[in-house]
Amino acid sequence: MTLGISRRSGVIRYKFHPELLPVIKNPNVFAKLKLIMLAVLASPKYAYSLYEFVADSYCRERPIVRISLVRLKEFLGIPAASYADYKTFKFQVLKPTIAAINRISDYSVKYTTYREGRKVAGVIFHIERKRQWQQPLLLERPLAVLQRFFGVEPIAATKIDDAAIVDFIASVARYRIDEKTARAAVAAHGLLGAIEIRDKVVGEIARREKGSNPVRDGPAYLARCLREGYGMKTPEERVAEERSAAASAARRGEAAREKDEGERRLMLERQLRDKAKNYLAALPPEERAAYEERFLAAANEGVHGSHLRGKPISHPGVQRAFLSSMVRELSKTMKNTLP
Query: Which residues are 116's β-sheet partners?
Result: 119
Give residue 228's identity as a one-letter amino acid code: E
- Measured N-to-C along each axis, helices 218-228 and 179-209 cross at an angle, to the nearest 10 degrees, of 120
pTM of the model: 0.39
User: Does 118 score more than 80 pLDDT?
Assistant: yes
CATH number for 16-129 (one of 3.40.50.720, 3.40.640.10, 3.10.129.10, 1.10.10.10): it is 1.10.10.10
What gap in Å lies between CA 15 and CA 49, rounded to an integer? 33
For range 111-126, the mean pLDDT: 93
Nearest to 65 by CA among 73, 74, 55: 55
What gap in Å lies between CA 282 and CA 279, rounded to an integer? 5
Residue 84's φ and ψ, nearest 5 degrees, are -65, -30
Nearest to 321 by CA among 287, 337, 298: 298
Pairing of strands 64-68, 119-129: antiparallel
Residue 229: per-residue pLDDT: 85
Within its chain, how far is the Cα of 320 from the centroid? 54
What gap in Å lies between CA 183 and CA 168, rounded to an integer? 9
User: Does 339 score more than 50 pLDDT?
Assistant: no
User: Does 251 score more than 80 pLDDT?
Assistant: yes
Residue 34: per-residue pLDDT: 65
Within its chain, how far is the Cα of 290 from the centroid? 67
CA-CA distances (angstroms) from residue 133 to 34, 106, 229, 326? 12, 6, 15, 64
Tens of pLDDT, residues 1-28: 555 666 677 777 777 777 776 656 655 5
The answer to whether 141 touches 184, Cβ cutoff 8 Å, is yes
Residue 295: per-residue pLDDT: 79
Helix ranges (DSSP H) in the chain? 21-25, 37-40, 47-59, 69-76, 86-89, 95-104, 140-150, 163-173, 179-209, 218-228, 235-282, 285-300, 316-331
Domain residue ranges in the chain: 16-129, 140-231, 238-331
The answer to whether 221 touches 178, Cβ cutoff 8 Å, is no
Mean pLDDT, the chain, integer: 80
Q: How does residue 134 score in pLDDT terms, banded at 50, 70 and 90?
A: low
CA-CA distances (angstroms) from residue 190 to 89, 105, 168, 178, 271? 29, 10, 11, 17, 57
Which range among 68-77, 187-196, 305-314 shows the weakest confidence by mean pLDDT? 305-314
Give residue 75's identity as a one-letter amino acid code: F
Give residue 89's identity as a one-letter amino acid code: F
Give residue 192's identity as a one-letter amino acid code: L
For range 33-59, the mean pLDDT: 82
For range 59-85, the mean pLDDT: 90
For range 125-146, the mean pLDDT: 70
What gap in Å lies between CA 279 and CA 322, rounded to an integer? 13
What gap in Å lies between CA 199 and CA 88, rounded to an integer? 34
Nearest to 40 by CA among 134, 121, 118: 134
